[in-house]
Amino acid sequence: MDALTIDQFAVFAAIVEEGSFAAAARRMNRAQSAITYAIKKLEDQSGVELFDRSSYRPVLTQAGTALLPRAQRILSELEQYRLHARQMTKGLEHELRFAFHPYVSPQSLSNVLSDFEKKFPSVYLLALPASRDAATHALHNSAVDLALMPELVPFGAGIERSVCGESEIVVAAAPTHPLAQLDGGNFSASLLRDHRQLVAYTTVAEEDLSIMRGYGMDDVNIWRVVDFELERALLVAGSGWGALPRSRIEEDVAAGRLVVLRPRGWGNAEQVLKIPFVIARATSNPVGPAARWLFDRLARSPVV
């Protein structure tokens, strides 16, 4: 077994993929006798026959069928090693730290990150939710490389950013909530203060809160909960009202678990609040090809 070689595994896989020794020889630009010798050597060293050669075309034996996935895995790992080595020579990052605001659509973001994984399989990705303030602070301190967050106020110098869509925030509650019973959910926004608001703790920092005061938020009648999913569950249970991205509650609205309210004087004329989102990085923190690819991809692929 000590003399097993990568070339033998490559021959093994080529025979299976091409269907014959002769076809494998043509693909690998070798004499058929060399292919036959390589697979015979592999069988001798493994102690099992990998192919039944009694018919016109070689057929995998039971042992060959069992061992083929391991050989293919070895070849795949070798290719990943080569790819990683090539990418490192081009300055590819070992790790990419990415902060995103919880209002971002998980499905849309997962589609982008799935493409990222295919493009940069060797890069370790750390993706964590963060409020705008926390993400901005992390950028300036090089704790993260990129941040996808709302641009409620200008970031100032030292931040490169690109707009990547806007999040449409709506007011929602359970159909049984008292606000939903008022004129079909169409009422004065001033009444929002009379009912508990639910806010995911990670989505609203103090700076964001001061900006949002005019949209029904206050410090007295508000619950901050641990995450977005708990906020959503409490909304469905009728424990309060919330201002959430429309994209995050579409299924609940369609199923009748939540309704979109229309408080007059809240948001724009359509009773929605549109918040621009940007992908940002600190100019003081140089990024490699993986981070630049993700920055550019998010800049042209809205995920909010």
pLDDT in tens, 50-82: 999 888 889 999 999 999 999 999 988 887 777
Q: Looking at residue 116, which CATH number applies to its domain?
A: 3.40.190.10
Coil, strand, or helix at residue 38?
Answer: helix
Task: Give the position of tokens 């009422």.
Answer: 187
pLDDT category of residue 271 using cuts at 50, 70 and 90: confident
Report yes or no on 1 lying in a domain: no
CATH code of the domain covering residue 269:
3.40.190.290
In this structure, are residues 288 and 166 in contact, taking their beta carbons and an 8 Å threshold?
no
With bands split at pLDDT 50, 70 and 90, how would you rate the model's confidence at 175?
very high
Pairing label, strands 242-245, 159-173: antiparallel
Residue ranges making up the domain that contains 139: 95-165+276-300
Predicted pLDDT at 210: 46
Note the pLDDT of residue 24.
Answer: 92
pLDDT in tens, 13-55: 999 999 999 999 999 999 999 999 999 999 999 999 999 988 8
Contact 31, 25 (CB under 8 A): yes
Residue carrying structure tokens 């999913």:
229
Count of Cβ atoms closer than 10 Å to residue 209 Cβ: 17
pLDDT at 118: 92
- pLDDT above 70 (res 241): yes
Q: Are residues 189 and 269 in the same domain?
A: yes
Confidence (pTM): 0.60
- C-beta of residue 278 within 8 angstroms of C-beta of residue 146: no
Please compute Rg for the chain using Cα positions: 29
Quote the CA–CA distance of 30 and 296 in Å, as a whole number. Answer: 44
Is 36 inside any structural domain? yes
Same domain, yes or no: 170 and 266: yes
- Mean pLDDT, residues 215-235: 76
Q: Report the pLDDT value the prediction gives residue 34, as an integer from 0 to 100.
A: 93
- Looking at the predicted structure, is the pLDDT value of residue 247 above 50? yes
Average pLDDT rounded to a whole number, residues 154-158 = 69
Average pLDDT rounded to a whole number, residues 84-90: 61
Domain-located, residue 224:
yes
Question: What's the mean pLDDT when you consider all of the chain?
Answer: 84
The number of domains in the chain is: 3
Is pLDDT of 226 > 90? no
